Structure 1
């Protein structure tokens, strides 16, 4: 009876040891097989594996993407010595389990602290080269590309891959914000004054050009008018001369009619003349001077 009990116990112990000899690794994890705290095997592919029971143990490492999300924003100084609050997050994953274990062991906190320290240092270096405007708007993407490049190179040394580094937000401190507003107001005022000055100069130039063109046009028009008046007077004189040559008496009569018309254009007009004056010659006798 004792022998049967011993055999049964041995079988059960064997079965228990047999079941302890196998372990699985899924696609989410990598595994390291330890023997007396020394890494013997590194397993990075999913499957069923064998270990020596009671002598070896298995530690699994999460290969999924991890996130380091800062709880409080970092206070960083820009090239203008102005403080901003930068809130970041880092996404990373284990790329090489062997490197990772040798660098940080089983202490994941050590890995995250190293990544956090690298990113914060790079942020300070990059922000220190740039202005507030650059880090908030203009060159923010450039900063993050450079930061990720350097951080990924450092993370590779501990078997980690940086998936992404992002600035969730960048805010100005109250004192910095007031200083920036004052500077922006001053810059805009300076720019506005410059534009007004340039506009006034352009307006003066345009007015000067317009006045010059006006004088040129008026002078040209006056010269043309004088020329045309001279030509008209010459033609009129020629016509008068021709008319006088053909019939001097008729010409005299015509000129007298014009004189009468001009002299008595209004009822209120008054002239004081001797009735026997030559002026009334054609008024007294339309045929005077032999007119027919």
Structure 2
């Protein structure tokens, strides 16, 4: 191999080494910062292929995606001097790479610790200004919105981090307070149950009284109608009997006597009467004379 070819190969190798040390790529999921002897010389590096001075400058890359900070359940004191155990999480991402690097040296674990401290401090202040009812149900959404806004302002200034959302996964009571709340809720439910039973009993008595009144009225009206119908029937029967009797008084008297004989001797086989009694006049004479 000739000396010129050897020199060309050496130059090409040096150029390749320089290119490999100077060229770098930043993808869409990353944020990057360029350092020169430990000083920041570039902090707004866009995704794509870039150049740095070999052996003089170096590049640090960080995750630019939305990250989740899942904190451990913590104990907070409300304005009513009641402790609650809160389990929360936050969604965040790097906003200012330069500020993020200066605050955390690019250490994600350190960033999570600092963000967790700010989150705990903010939650402690917010819970301390609200009652137990407000943090559990009444103003929970308002609390989360305000907490996200305040934490975002602090983290962007101190850490170069943007907080997108803060959420509370669960709010629990300590065991001693849980028992107290349970007993109070049980007593309240018992009071409401007694009130409902009392109202139900009062309503039932009213319904029963109204039913008894209606029953009395219906029975009285039915008795009145029955007596009226019975009276009309008796009157009609009497009219029919009178009409029949007036047509043939002798035959009517004869049939009445036969019926009297039938009823009398059905239960008695011995009867004591005067032989000339009117009871036997149709037995003596078919004409009753």
Measure the CA separation in 2 of the matches of 1:196 and 1:21.
85
Measure the CA separation in 1 of the matches of 2:121 and 2:189.
34
Aligned partners of 1:144 and 1:166 also within 8 Å = no
Unmatched 5+ residue regions in structure 1?
1-6
Measure the CA separation in 1 of the matches of 2:273 and 2:78.
104
- The structural deviation recorded for 1:88 is 2.4
Deviation by residue 1:255-278 (Cα, 9 ceiling, x = unmatched)? 33343344444248x755433322
1:1-292 equivalences under 5 Å are 20-35=21-36, 38-53=39-54, 56-70=57-71, 72-77=72-77, 81-98=81-98, 100-101=100-101, 106=106, 108=108, 111-121=111-121, 123-124=123-124, 125=126, 128-131=130-133, 135=136, 142=141, 146=145, 149-150=148-149, 153-154=152-153, 155=155, 157=157, 159-162=160-163, 165-267=166-268, 272-289=272-289
Deviation by residue 1:237-266 (Cα, 9 ceiling, x = unmatched)? 111111121111122223333433444442
CA RMSD of aligned residues (A): 3.8
- The structural deviation recorded for 1:80 is 5.8
- The structural deviation recorded for 1:152 is 6.6
- The structural deviation recorded for 1:279 is 2.5
2:199 aligned counterpart, secondary structure: helix
Aligned partners of 1:92 and 1:161 also within 8 Å = yes
Change in CA separation of 1:258 and 1:69 when aligned onto 2, cut-off 3 Å? same
- The structural deviation recorded for 1:106 is 4.5
- The structural deviation recorded for 1:228 is 0.5
- In the alignment of these two chains, the number of paired residues is 275
Measure the CA separation in 2 of the matches of 1:219 and 1:82.
67
Change in CA separation of 1:111 and 1:266 when aligned onto 2, cut-off 3 Å? same
- TM-score, normalised via structure 2 length: 0.74
Measure the CA separation in 2 of the matches of 1:283 and 1:97.
140
Change in CA separation of 1:40 and 1:225 when aligned onto 2, cut-off 3 Å? same
Query: What is aligned with 2:4?
Result: none
- TM-score, normalised via structure 1 length: 0.74
Deviation by residue 1:19-55 (Cα, 9 ceiling, x = unmatched)? 5444443444312223465433224433332234565
- The structural deviation recorded for 1:233 is 1.2
Aligned partners of 1:151 and 1:162 also within 8 Å = no
Measure the CA separation in 1 of the matches of 2:48 and 2:63.
15
